[in-house]
Amino acid sequence: MSQSQRQNGPGPRRGQGPFGVRVTRRGAIAGAAMLGAGAALDRTLSGGGDSSPAAAVAFHGEHQAGIATPIQSHLHFAAFDMSTSSRRALRGLLASWTDAAASLTAGTEYVSARAARIDTGEALDLSPARLTLTFGFGPGLFERGRFGLANRRPPMLEPLPPFAGENLDPESSGGELCVQACADDAQVAFHAIHVLSLIADGTATLRWAQLGFRRMSNPAGPSPAPRNLLGFRDGTNNLKGEDVAAMSRFVWVAAGEGPAWLEGGSYLIARRIEIAFPAWDVTPLDQQERTIGRRKRSGAPLTGRREHDPVDLSAIGADGRPVIPLDAHIRLASAHANAGRRLLRRGYSYSRGITPGPLDRGGHQIDGGLFFIAFARDPRRQFIPLARRLATHDALNAFAVHTASAIFACPPGVRPGGYIGQGLLA
């Protein structure tokens, strides 16, 4: 059993929360057809619903789900700005979001009693699809005079510094709140953000959003890491969510490292990185492989034969040069180059159609790349120095430009009866 299952174990929950009524989605649809809506409601509320426990990740737990949870195939990431400075309104929003998130992740219909709204409906006949909803707080929430939270600001929650070569779009960067919705069904993830944004209406507004997708690992194949849009296996040398010791060492904020409300939480760093496909696509295979430091087909390091062979950064080739070039991505990003520090990467490929503008100025090309998401216990030590080194030396820079950036502090998980960020706002 994975850590995420233990801490945010599978299994739908039913019942009535403080702000809404939950109805099993698939149970309500199937039952309504056979028995009539009233009987279906009765059946699902008493626990006889039809949702698949295997496809639900529990919302409550010590840590928020969606961090250690094995990655799902779809992402819908949304950043919000508060449209009021009322702390009471912020608390109410987080309480309502908590209640809705418990329903949505269990695959139950969310009917808000407070707002007199009904579920938007597009996920009515769908399973929970391992939906996880992970909430975070941006630096702006803690600004003096905003919500009276300045003295509770985690010292590491600062907007990321500028990095060489980036070309950020301020309209798809930053944000005061974020929701990372991940699911094995794009429509389930969409639905969750749709419902949460409706609940936010009048209190917070959507600032920007990003969709993402990734191939799932092939359990039957010899190599588990799926390929990104460069065609390379991505995630080979990543932290594993089920590695409890590594998660404590690199991901979860420990006692005394910041304000008490963040203990057991983490920092989420998001960077949208656009790939220059016209340049990459005409780059010869051996140069692509030297850019990453791994073989394209197998994912093996240039110093090995199989994907999980150890990376030998000291190996020297017959030409007297390092086998893994000094500017190769995996050399510069290695824990070795980062004083042993690592990150949990949980990013998704993205595609946004075509680049805008005329053909002779870079328009009409595929607009896509990597929506990089990482979780770290200490962004100042784990992310910033690494990103600085990559920004100035990484051979990958010839093919990639960072176009969006954000950082959020994700509070710990929610206990039944509590709400997200309760430690911060109570």
The site for ligand HEM (CB under 6 A) is made up of 228, 230, 232-238, 271, 273, 275, 292, 294, 311, 329-330, 333-335, 343, 369-370, 372, 386-387, 390, 396, 400
Nearer to ligand HEM, 87 or 388 (CB): 388
Q: Please, what is the minimum distance in Å from the beta carbon of residue 69 to ligand HEM?
A: 18
- Angle between helices 186-200 and 87-106 in degrees, nearest 10: 150
Nearer to ligand HEM, 40 or 311 (CB): 311
- Angle between helices 25-35 and 37-45 in degrees, nearest 10: 140
Closest CA to 169 of 418, 403, 378, 364: 403
Residues 67 and 241 sit within 8 Å (Cβ to Cβ): yes
Q: Tokens for 30?
A: 């199937």
Q: Tokens for 227?
A: 């390929």
What totals of helices (H) and strands (E) does the chain contain, helices first? 12, 11
Task: Give SS3 for 208.
Answer: strand
Closest CA to 423 of 265, 266, 254: 265
Task: Give SS3 for 157.
Answer: coil
Q: Please, what is the minimum distance in Å from the beta carbon of residue 155 to ligand HEM?
A: 21
What does DSSP say about strands 266-275 and 108-112: parallel, antiparallel, or unpaired?
A: unpaired
Nearer to ligand HEM, 191 or 345 (CB): 345
Q: How far apart, in whole angstroms, are the C-alpha atoms of residue 136 and residue 29?
A: 33
Q: Please, what is the minimum distance in Å from the beta carbon of residue 363 to ligand HEM?
A: 21
Nearer to ligand HEM, 3 or 397 (CB): 397
Nearer to ligand HEM, 29 or 163 (CB): 163
Nearer to ligand HEM, 53 or 368 (CB): 368
Q: Please, what is the minimum distance in Å from the beta carbon of residue 295 to ligand HEM?
A: 11
Q: Please, what is the minimum distance in Å from the beta carbon of residue 369 to ligand HEM?
A: 6
